[in-house]
Structure 1
Amino acid sequence: MTQHSRDTPQFYLTAPSPCPYLAGRHERKVFTHLVGDKAGDLNDLLTHGGFRRSQSIAYRPACDQCRACVSVRVIANEFRPSRSFRKIMARNADIVGEQRSAVPTSEQYSIFRAYLDQRHRHGGMADMTVLDYAMMVEDSHVETRIIEYRRRDGDAVAANGRGNDLVAVALTDVLSDGLSMVYSFFEPSEENRSLGTYMILDHINRARRQGLPYVYLGYWIEGSKKMDYKGRFLPQQRLAPSGWMRVDASGETLTEPQD
């Protein structure tokens, strides 16, 4: 591959396939490769335009006659947890999160495998092997981190500053203006903790502490049980054809595009 092709993105369109989120519909995606020295800048630019990253690929929906997938980003500094969110945070007060380099481990894969088998056994990732998982974590040309969430153990924390049993993991890109949650998973036996929600709340706090304005959650899809929950984290901005539109804590959408 020439230097010109590495630095100049080329975009491709997938063939139609059944939509995994809305029954009876088909999806298409436009995608490009994130490679070379400018991959980080390109990932930033494309994320602002509604793309998501998967390994060294950036993609976004390009479906015929359907615009249900809406990119959302939480406004970190203005977010105030609701009563239900505060209960989830209290429920997980014994969890400690540690940010690490994006290095896969067998401990992570064990939870990843259990998570897929319990919650996504018929999904597109159901057959991922330990090598596939390693590629998902390591195949990144942008600034990516792993955040491990462990159950707090008094002796373990005193000894090494971290918790004991691993219960959840988030793969997160660090952008110029926020944190982008690429993929997260958790121990299914701990589902009563609402760890998926807890990890989002933790990322909002992390972004605030790092002075980053947004947490990118990917696609909100109204009417999809898998994706509709993302609309609860308010205030947030949703990407419309005219730009990012603010949705405030009351659920009201403001008409002026946001920077």
Structure 2
Amino acid sequence: MYKHIFFDLDHTLWDHHVNSKIALEEVYQLFQLKDLGIATPEKFYHKFNEVNHKLWLDYERSKISQAELRHARFRIIFSALGVDNHEKCDAISDTYLEISPRKPYLLPYTQEILTYLKPKYPLHIITNGFDEIQDVKMNSGGIKHYFGHIVTSQNSGFKKPDPEIFHYALDLVKAKPKECLMIGDTFYTDVLGAMSVGIDAVFFNPNDQRHPEKPTFQIRHLKELKAIL
């Protein structure tokens, strides 16, 4: 039924939470953040998740730019944790973006399902992440060789859920929407974005989130893709 399979990367294949937590612990120690008033690495990590999630929503809705996301993230985190000294924030941001993508951890069954799918379908990535960082992540996780085209918000000029990023991907693979399947963990950007242009979508939903709209398919583990593909 399908001729091409598109995957999201972060939180779908590459384990952003695990890799980010390890990187932030390293940043915490490297910059001696306890001395600045951030009590524990755990508080730093939890506040990062909260702030980063909100900023990425703003980025995906074109409310802020890539540069604003990078520049503001740790300043907002510091302020929220009661630290007014932002002198090291840019250096922390650069260090985090250097360390985090080099962590190798993948979501459960990632290697297994990609090995299963690769002989059957051309596989591709559609991500709102940044070119150089996503490339490092895939190499660190040992999965880049599975994919043909890597579509990012930078090389396409559009961000999910904008229909144009999906049209860009369809043009690259020379396929019709009904010939493709999108797999991702974010309902708004991955699922609704793909379905808005006629591409069937698998909602990777390990936390059993509820949404009023129905995806084409829904799974809690990547291994469940074997029943669909």
TM-score, scaled relative to structure 1: 0.26
Greater strand share, structure number: 1
Greater helix share, structure number: 2
